[in-house]
Amino acid sequence: MKGLMKFLTLCLLVSIVAGCGAQATQAPEAAQAPEPADTAVPESSLTAAEEWAKANGLGPYQPAEEDWAAVEAAAKAEGSVVVYSNSSKIEKLIEPWGELYPDIKLAGGDTDDIAVKMQAEQEAGNVVGDVWFQSFGHVLYGEFMPNQWLWWYVPPGVTPFEVTPERPFVIQRRSVDVIGYNNEVHPEGCPLTNWWQLTEPELKGLFYMEDPIADSSTTAKITLIVQHADEMAAAYESFYGSEWTTDEAYGEDIPNAGYLFLRKLAQNEPGIQPGGDEVDAAFATLGMDPSVEPGYGWTGLSSYENTLEGELAMAPCYGLEPTLGILKAAYLGVANNAPHPNAAKLFIRYAISAEGFDPWNKMGAYPGVDGIEIAEGMPSRDDIVLWPSDDKFAYENMSQVRDFWAVSLLAP
C-alpha cells in the first residue's frame, strides 16, 4: 500500500513538472516581438521636371529670398544666357547688359515662332533657349505650363501686377493695340465713334488687320471681342438704336453680339495684311490722297511714336465705343532644363527693372511691375478703356472663334 502511494505521488510530481515545462516553452511564443516597421524611404512623387525646378529654385520652389551674390557667381560659371524674344528691341539690351555682366554673354534677338521652337527643344530633350520673352499667353498657360516646359520666376522684392497662383508668370510689359486712323487725311480727329462702323458698307475693304487664321496672336485678339459680348451689344444699341438680335445678319449660329460683329466684319472684306508694318502702311502712309478715305487699322499704339517722329500718319481713335483697344502681355519664363538657369534669373530681374524696360518705355507700353514711370505722353490706364488679354479664355475658345471667322469669310 505504501508502495502504491509512493508511485502515485511520483506520477503527480512528474505531471506538475511537465505542465510547468509546457508553460515555460509556450510563454516566449505569447511574448513574441512585433516585426520591425518598414523604414524604407518612399520614392519621390515629383516629376523629373519638378525635381529640376526644385534644384534650381524655380516655379513653386523659388525661395522667398535670393542670395544674389551666389546667383551671379553661378551665372558667371554658366557664361551666357539665351533669350528668345519676339521684339527687336531686345538688341538694345545687349550693350548695357554686357557692361553690367561682362562675364555673362546675352545671346538673343528677334526670334520667330518662339513657342514652336521651345516646344521642339523640350520634346527633343535638347534645350538651347533659356528664357521665354514674348506674349502668346494662351500657349504659355494652355500648353507650356501644364506640360512643365516652362517655369515661372518672380524676383524677390519686386511688386508685379496681375500675378496670381493660377497665373504666376511675371509680365514684363503690357502693350496696347488700338484702332488707328490717318491723322494727315483727318486732321480734325478720328471720324469713328463706334466699332460697329467698321462693319458698314462705306468702309468695305478699308479696315486693315493681320490674319486671324494664320496668326494665333490675332486670333486671341478677336476672341476678346467674343468675351466682351455684353459691351459689344451695348455699343450696337448705342449706334443703331436697337438690340443686336434685330440685325439682318443675326442667325441661330450666332450666340452673342461679339460673334455678330465678327460675322459682319468678315463679310465687309477687311484688308488682311502679313504684319503690323503692312497694316500701318495700308492706311497711315504719309502723303495719301486726302480725297480718298484711307481706312483704319488694328495696330500697336507704339506706331504713334513713328507719327511723332514724322514717319507715319497713324493716330489712335480715342473715345471709341466700347473700347480703344486691348492690352497684350509680354511674359518672362525659364525653360525646363535650361542650360543657364542662374543667368536666366539675372536676366528676368534685369528685364523688369527700369533700365531693362527702357527700350519699351515709350508710347504704347505699360510696365509690368510697380515703381516704373510710364513714358511721357502715354495715357494713364485709368484714363482710357482697354480690354486686357485673357489667356485662359483665349486658349479655350480660339479654335471655335477661328472656325467661325473662316466660315464668315465665305458666307454670302
pLDDT tens column, 282-307:
999 999 999 999 999 999 999 999 99
Q: What amino acid occupies position 297?
A: G
Q: With b meaning 16 or more CB within 10 Å and e meaning fewer, what string describes 313-327?
A: bbbbbeebbbbbbbb
How far the first Cα of the chain sits from its last, in Å, is 132
> Given this model, what pLDDT does residue 133 score?
97
Question: Does 3.40.190.10 match the CATH number of domain 175-327+393-410?
Answer: yes
Q: What amino acid occupies position 323?
A: T
Angle between the N-to-C axes of helices 257-267 and 229-240, in degrees from 0 to 180, rounded to the nearest 10: 70
Average confidence score pLDDT of the chain:
90
How much of the chain exceeds pLDDT 90, in percent? 83
H or E element: which one contains 207? strand 207-210
pTM: 0.84
Distances in whole angstroms, Cα of residue 155 to Cα of each of 159, 162, 352 = 9, 15, 9
Specify the fold of 49-174+328-378.
Answer: D-Maltodextrin-Binding Protein; domain 2 (3.40.190)
Is pLDDT above 60 for 11?
no
Q: pLDDT tier at 21 (50, 70, 90 boundaries)?
A: very low
Which residues fall within 8 angstroms of residue 367, CB to CB, at 6 or more apart? 172, 173, 352, 357, 361, 374
> Given this model, what pLDDT does residue 111 score?
87
Strands (E), 52-99: 80-85
Query: Which DSSP category does 387 fall into?
Result: E
- The stretch 223-228 carries a mean pLDDT of 98
Which residues fall within 8 angstroms of residue 373, CB to CB, at 6 or more apart? none
Give the angle subtended at the CA of 49 by the CAs of 46 and 54, to the nearest 5°: 70
Question: Which of left, alpha, beta for 136 (phi over 0: left; psi -120 to 50: alpha)?
Answer: left
DSSP string of 274-342?
A: SSHHHHHHHHH-TT--TTS---EEEEEGGGHHHHHTTS--EEE-TT-BS-SEEEEEEEEEEETT-S-HH
User: CB of 75 within 8 A of CB of 104?
Assistant: yes
Q: How far apart are CA 144 and CA 122, in angstroms?
A: 10
HSE toward the beta carbon, residue 102, CA cutoff 13 A = 1
Q: How far apart are CA 137 and CA 143, in angstroms?
A: 10
H or E element: which one contains 347? helix 341-351
Least confident of 2-6, 62-66, 329-333: 2-6
> Given this model, what pLDDT does residue 5 score?
38
Is pLDDT above 80 for 376?
yes
Q: For 37-49, how does the pLDDT look when each residue is reduced to its tens digit (9 = 90+)?
A: 343 434 469 999 9
Question: Which of left, alpha, beta for 365 (phi over 0: left; psi -120 to 50: alpha)?
Answer: beta
Is pLDDT above 60 for 333?
yes
Q: How far apart are CA 237 and CA 244, in angstroms?
A: 7
- The stretch 5-26 carries a mean pLDDT of 37
Least confident of 158-162, 312-316, 408-412: 408-412
Question: CATH 3.40.190.10 region(s) of the chain?
Answer: 49-174+328-378, 175-327+393-410
- Residue with the bigger pLDDT between 210 and 22: it is 210
Is pLDDT above 70 for 202?
yes
Distances in whole angstroms, Cα of residue 59 to Cα of each of 45, 74, 316 = 17, 19, 39
Is pLDDT above 80 for 27?
no
Cβ neighbours, 10 Å, residue 334: 29
Q: pLDDT tier at 412 (50, 70, 90 boundaries)?
A: low
Q: How far apart are CA 353 and CA 173, in angstroms?
A: 11
Q: How far apart are CA 199 and CA 408, in angstroms?
A: 13
Q: For 63-118, how does the pLDDT look when each residue is reduced to its tens digit (9 = 90+)?
A: 999 999 999 999 999 999 999 999 999 999 999 999 999 999 999 888 889 999 99
Q: How far apart are CA 215 and CA 274, in angstroms?
A: 9
Q: Which of 295, 301, 270 is CA-nearest to residue 282?
A: 295
> Given this model, what pLDDT does residue 29 score?
39
> Given this model, what pLDDT does residue 39 score?
36
User: CB of 81 within 8 A of CB of 105?
Assistant: yes
